[in-house]
Each structure stands twice: as structure tokens, then as C-alpha cells.
Amino acid sequence: MKLQTLRRTGVAAAALSLSLGLAACSEENGGDTAAADAPASETTEMTDEMTEDESMGSDTEMDEASAASQVFGPGCAAVPTDGAGSFDGMVADPVATAASNNPLLTTLVTAVGEAGLVDTLNDAEGLTVFAPTDDAFAKIPAKDLKAVLADKDLLTSILTHHVVAGQLGPDEIAGEHETLNGDMIEVMGSGEEFTVGDEEAAVICGNVPTANATVYVVDTVLMP
């Protein structure tokens, strides 16, 4: 009797020990699985975030690259390579604001302000602007330029003669166009060589993008 009891007790103890051991192993395996699952999930989220950040960075770089890569003409070399007055900077601003940041167009900006056309140009949905440089205005005798700047009606007619509705690319710019002054202006040429108006003003930097306009920088002031 005692021997049988001891044997049964020993078997029961062994079974209990085996059961506890299996349970412990199961818990350890489950813990390992959970521990493995959590880092994998976190890694996936981190990877997705990194991919999204890289994609956003890539899109931004492409936008900035396209702003500078689409322009043409020898005068483009004089435009700042960075900052608000650069091509990458101008593309973010409406046309009057963009011009105000460009050191080549200070006299034009002054004239636009005197004529009260800043909001008109900035609020327009789409324009093509022939923008005379400071050197272009310098061709006008100082006395005459001063008189023009003082005559708002005359100044407005001259400036709006430089503006056409719609954003025209290099493949659309040649031909006759109605200006915001209500008269016509003719652009001649093709490819990357164009002249504008009766003055045959040369486009020295063309297809410059701003937020609401395409700008063609010219070397002569155009007269209605």
C-alpha cells in the first residue's frame, strides 16, 4: 500500500511538474512573439514615415528645380541664385511681389507702385508680363522718366501695355496679343529668341514663373 501510494504520488508530481513546465514554455514563447510583433509594427510605421518624408522632400526639390530649369536667355545669369529674388523664390509669390524681390526690376516696381497697380497684378488669376529691367528704364532721359512717373494716367497706360491676359509659354508667345491697356502688342521670334513691340525689345530672360504670371524680362521699355 505505501509503495503504491508513493508511486502514485511520484507520478502525480511528475505530471504536475511537466504541466507547469509546458505552461512556462508556452508563456515564454508567447512573450517572445509579442516582443517580436511590437518592434516589427513600430519599424513599419517608422519606415512609412521616412518614405513619406522622403517623398515630400523629393516633390519640393522637383518644384524648385523646375522653376530655375525652365527659364532661358543670357539675362537669367544676373538673377540671384537664392533668396526671394531668385527663380525658386519668385515662383512662390504673385507677380508684383515677386518683382519687388528681384534686384533687376527696382524701377519697374517703383513705377507699378506709383500707378497703384500692385493689387491689380497680384490678384489677377493669370498674366504674361514683359518686365523692363532697370537698364531699360535708364535708356529714357531722366527728365522724361520723372515726368512719366508723375503722370499716373500715362504711367498706367505704359505699364498695362506690358501685360497680357493669360500665362503664355515660349511656344505660345509669338504673335499679336491684346494688352491690359486695350491695344495690341506683337512678339516675334521662336525657340529662345524673341523681340517685343515696335521697339523690338529683346527678351533677355524668358519664361520666368511666378505664382500667377509668366514673366519675360526685356531690355527696352515698350510704349503704347
Range of lowest pLDDT (15-19, 120-124, 155-159): 15-19
pLDDT of residue 68: 84
Segment 208-220 shows an average pLDDT of: 98
Average pLDDT (112-125) is: 97
pLDDT of 62 higher than 50: no
Interatomic CA distance for residues 154 and 21, integer angstroms:
99
What count of other Cβ atoms lies within 10 Å of the Cβ of residue 151?
14
Query: Which residue in this structure is represented by grid cell 521670334?
Result: 189
In this model, does residue 20 exceed pLDDT 70? Answer: no
Q: What is the distance between the alpha carbons of residues 203 and 27, in angstroms, rounded to a whole number?
A: 78
The answer to whether residue 90 scores a pLDDT higher than 80 is yes
Question: pLDDT of 134-153, one tens digit each?
Answer: 999 999 999 999 999 999 99
Cell, residue 161:
501695355
Is it the case that residue 14 has pLDDT exceeding 80? no
Residue found by looking up cell 527728365 in the block: 143
CATH of domain 71-218: 2.30.180.10
Q: How far apart are CA 168 and CA 78, in angstroms?
A: 23
Per the CB < 8 A criterion, the answer to whether 217 and 95 are in contact is: no
Instruction: List the grid coordinates of 137.
Output: 528704364
pLDDT band with cut points at 50, 70 and 90 for residue 71: very high
Q: Would you place residue 65 in the very low, low, confident or very high pLDDT band (cuts 50, 70, 90)?
A: low
Q: What is the pLDDT of residues 153-204, one digit of tens each?
A: 999 999 999 999 999 999 999 999 999 999 999 999 999 999 999 999 999 9
